[in-house]
């Protein structure tokens, strides 16, 4: 099953977005750090709400670029 990585300002924001889209908990995940992405593959990335506003720009770019790269691994 393809999962969705929700990059959000916080977990609550990610949960609210998932709820509004009728996503089950096993269909999405919220990375709290880059380490949460290192062993995951084959997922889509969605940036939600205030994700880029609550963190330094360099950290946001690093987690976003890592998520994009890891998400492409294993796709057909």
Token pair of 17 as six digits: 């977005």
Reported confidence tier of residue 2, pLDDT bands at 50, 70, 90: low
Q: Under DSSP, is residue 61 helix (H, G, I), strand (E, B) or coil?
A: helix
Q: Cα dist. 55→41, 42, 50, 63, 66 in Å? A: 24, 25, 9, 11, 16
In angstroms, what is the C-alpha Rg of the chain? 12
7-41 confidence digits (pLDDT tens): 998 899 999 999 999 999 999 999 989 999 999 99
User: DSSP string of 11-30?
Assistant: HHHHHHHHHHTT--GGGEE-
């Amino acid at each position: 099953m393809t999962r969705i990585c929700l990059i959000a300002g916080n977990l609550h924001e990610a949960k609210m977005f998932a709820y509004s889209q009728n996503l089950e908990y096993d269909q999405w995940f919220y990375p709290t750090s880059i380490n949460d992405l290192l062993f995951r593959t084959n997922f889509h990335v969605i940036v939600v709400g205030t994700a880029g506003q609550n963190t330094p720009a360099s950290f946001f770019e690093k987690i976003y670029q890592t998520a994009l790269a890891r998400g492409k691994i294993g796709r057909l």
